[in-house]
Every structure is written in structure tokens, then in C-alpha cells.
Chain A
Amino acid sequence: GGIITQTPKFLIGQEGQKLTLKCQQNFNHDTMYWYRQDSGKGLRLIYYSITENDLQKGDLSEGYDASREKKSSFSLTVTSAQKNEMAVFLCASSIWGGVYFGPGTRLTVL
């Protein structure tokens, strides 16, 4: 089996700050994803990457950048944190037929 690790687990930022979230997977999966989870809104796709150095925008990419420099890692940057923003950011990886999620990074913006 494999595992997806997300760091940090909790992230507190200030309005306007640039914040970076990191994700590592050891499944050796080609495709990785970043989803945002807000209470009552399900999971929304921010970015995904089908291979190293590939980036594809999802439904919610505005205000975010992503980077896939290695097959095993995928990072997400919040370019300018919004005041009172609270959400969980979930990293995932997949191979045909199965999507595996990490435990999430919980973001709070003061």
C-alpha cells in the first residue's frame, strides 16, 4: 500500500499572504489533484497534473498556483489569502479506477 502526506496539517495565515501547501505520494501514481472542501459545498477541483511538469486547471483555479516538479510531489500556492477564509485542502492521486486522498490541510485566514 501507499500513503499521501500533506504538510502542514494546520495553516494559519494573514489576509493577502502567499501560502504554500505541500503533498507527497508514494503510490507511484501519475495523476495528482488538489481539491478544496468547504462546509456544505462538497469537493471542488482546483488543479490536477497528469504527469511531472504538467498542470491542468480545474473548476476553482483562480487565486491559486500549482507546481509538479517531481512525480511524487504536488504543491499548491494560495496567491493572496482572503480574510476569514476557512477551508480544507485535499491532495489526491489516482490510477485508473481509484482516487486516494491525503488527510488534508486546514487553512484559516485571520
Chain B
Amino acid sequence: QQKVQQSPESLIVPEGGMASLNCTFSDRNSQYFWWYRQHSGEGPKALMSIFSNGDKKEGRFTAHLNKASLYVSLHIKDSQPSDSALYFCASPRAGGADRLTFGKGTQLIIQP
């Protein structure tokens, strides 16, 4: 069964700084990964997905995937107070493209 581990559990970054979130997974057959963001009092919302090894950039957000190392990361450039949230990485479990296994999350706090 797919296991997803996230680090760190919490992270404090000054406004304008770079936030880096990490995720490792156990299933070598995993094809793609999602990053979700959850603001307090809301449900998680998909930020971005990544399928191929290497980097994928969307605005201030860059996801990096290394399937051989079973590793995916998310980097947030020029962090804003509105980026303060709980971030999850997720990957499909075997047999279900949309049945995701989630990590426990990284709590990101951007300090003004």
C-alpha cells in the first residue's frame, strides 16, 4: 500500500522568502503526484500536479519530481502571508486513479 511521508511537520518562513516542502513515497509504480493546500476552516484545494521527472513551474510555485528517489517537493518563491496554510502531497493508490493517499501535511507559516 502506498505510503506518503511529508517533512517538515511545520515551517516558518519570512515574507518574501523561499518555502521548501518535501514528500517521499513508497510505491515505485506511482505515476503522478498532487500538492494540495488547505487554509484554516476550508477544504483542501489542488495546487498542482506533476507527472514527469524534473521541475514544473506555475507562477511562484515549483514542483520537483524524482521517481527514482521516490521524492517530490514543492518550492514557493516570494512567499506571501496568504500562503500560510496546511500543505499535503498525495499520490494515487494502486487500482484507483483518483483514490489518493495523503501525507500528514506540512503547516506553513509566513511571517510578515
Contacts and interface: CB of A to CB of B under 8 A. Distances in A.
A66 B11 CA distance: 37
Nearest to B102: A43
Interface of A: 4, 31, 33, 35, 40-43, 45, 48, 90, 92, 94-104
Contacts of A104: 42-43
Contact of A99 (B42, B98, B103): B98
Contact of A101 (B9, B45, B104): B45
Nearest to B32: A97
B58 to A, nearest CB: 15
A101 B102 contact: no
B98 A96 contact: yes
A97 B32 CA distance: 10
A38 B34 CA distance: 20
Given A31-B98, A96-B97, A99-B100, A42 B42 contact: no
User: By DSSP majority rule, is chain A's interface helix, strand, loop, or mixed?
Assistant: strand
A104 B42 CA distance: 7
A90 B98 contact: no
Nearest to A93: B98
Contacts of B100: 99
Interface string B49-90: 100000000000000000000000000000000000000101
Contacts, number: 44
B104 A42 contact: yes
Contact of B44 (A43, A45, A94): A43
A70 to B, nearest CB: 19
B112 interface: no
Contact of A97 (B41, B42, B49, B102): B49
Q: Which 5 A-B pairs have the closest CB atoms?
A: A101-B43, A94-B98, A42-B104, A43-B102, A42-B102
Contacts of B104: 40-42
Contact of B99 (A40, A45, A100, A103): A45
Contacts of B105: 42
